[in-house]
Amino acid sequence: MTLALAAACSYPTGETPYPGECVPLHLIGSVPLPNSIAVPTDVTFRLTFDDYPDPDTVRSDSILLTSGFFWVPGSYGTDLIERTAVMRPIRPLSPGLGYSLHLRPALSSLTGCPGASEEIEFITGDGPAGETPQPPATFDSVQRIFSAHCAGAGCHLADGTAGDGCLAAPAAGLSLCAPQAWDQLVAVPSRQDGQLQLVEAGDSARSYLLRKLLPARPTGGPITGVYGQREPPGEPLPDDQLRAIASWIDGGALR
């Protein structure tokens, strides 16, 4: 796949390749693969990139499923941990039929840099895969992650100064102490980006908390719209813990 550099899109100054130039968004994997046969009729399409896709651009004008002249509507989502755009048809596909998944440059990275046009053709099989979805992670499991990684002095957890074991003045005004964490996260606007909530129930890709926890972009540099250092300091959270936090948010961010 060859892409021309798009100089009009934003790129943080002081980073490679040089200020003002985009690093194009490249497709590096897909489910299904191009020219697959016997694809389950209940397939969920997953398009994986070399950078974080912007969830605001993962929609019907950037990912289009057709069969012949017919358009197949679907729902759209973004898995930031896997750097993957997701499309789910609203109903099972017809068995034994050819389809085309069209990817358009309207889908861009969080830095605003577009991808390229791609076509993924495939043929469905006889029926569904019938996979059982996994239940979402619980807030208790997420709280254990906070307790293990956010307990440094002067950070977001406990030192007993507030009487309930929580910090009286936590970093950035955010307490992740067990009695307070849920209320301080869910449906609360971020102080650093007022357009995003810390946790938007049902949508981890638009939750500032998850973006703040993600590792640096694979192409280098910080994630656009995330201010200050990545959290927690030091090594990023392992993927299984990031996945637990995203699963809890996508499952409705229940208490």
Assigned token pair, 212: 């703040």
Q: CA 130 to CA 145: how far, in whole Å?
A: 32
Check residue 206 and report its DSSP letter.
Answer: G
Do residues 146 and 246 both lie within one domain? yes
Lowest mean pLDDT among 26-40, 95-109, 203-217: 203-217
Tell me: the pLDDT tens digits for 48-85? 999 999 999 999 999 999 999 999 999 999 999 999 99
Q: What pLDDT shows up at residue 28?
A: 97
Q: What pLDDT shows up at residue 118?
A: 95
> 246 lies in a domain?
yes
The domain boundary, picked from 90, 124, 158, lies at 124
> 11 lies in a domain?
no
How far is residue 236 CA from its own chain's centroid?
A: 16
Mean pLDDT of 104-128: 94
Tell me: the pLDDT tens digits for 12-28? 444 444 445 678 899 99
> 19 lies in a domain?
no
Check residue 76 and report its DSSP letter.
Answer: E
The average confidence (pLDDT) of the chain is: 84
pTM here is 0.83
Q: Say whether pLDDT at 245 is over 50.
A: yes
The domain boundary, picked from 124, 153, 170, lies at 124
Q: In what order do the strands lie in the sheet with 84-89?
A: 27-31, 45-49, 84-89, 74-79
> 10 lies in a domain?
no
Q: Say whether pLDDT at 8 is over 50.
A: no
> 64 lies in a domain?
yes
Of 206, 205, 183, nearest to 196 by C-alpha is 206
Do residues 151 and 118 both lie within one domain? no
Do residues 154 and 220 both lie within one domain? yes
Q: CA 37 to CA 35: how far, in whole Å?
A: 7
Tally of structural domains, the chain: 2
Please report, rounded to a whole number, the percentage of residues in the chain having pLDDT higher than 70.
79
The domain boundary, picked from 92, 124, 156, lies at 124
Tell me: the pLDDT tens digits for 118-174? 999 999 999 999 878 889 999 999 999 988 887 654 566 554 444 456 766 666 678
Check residue 90 and report its DSSP letter.
Answer: S
Do residues 99 and 163 both lie within one domain? no
Residues in the chain: 255
Of 213, 198, 214, nearest to 253 by C-alpha is 198
Q: Which residues does 2 contact at the CB level (< 8 Å), separation at least 6?
A: 116
Do residues 144 and 236 both lie within one domain? yes
Q: Whole domain around residue 223: which residue ranges?
A: 139-250
Do residues 155 and 81 both lie within one domain? no
Please report, rounded to a whole number, the percentage of residues in the chain having pLDDT higher than 90.
61
Strands 70-72 and 63-67: antiparallel
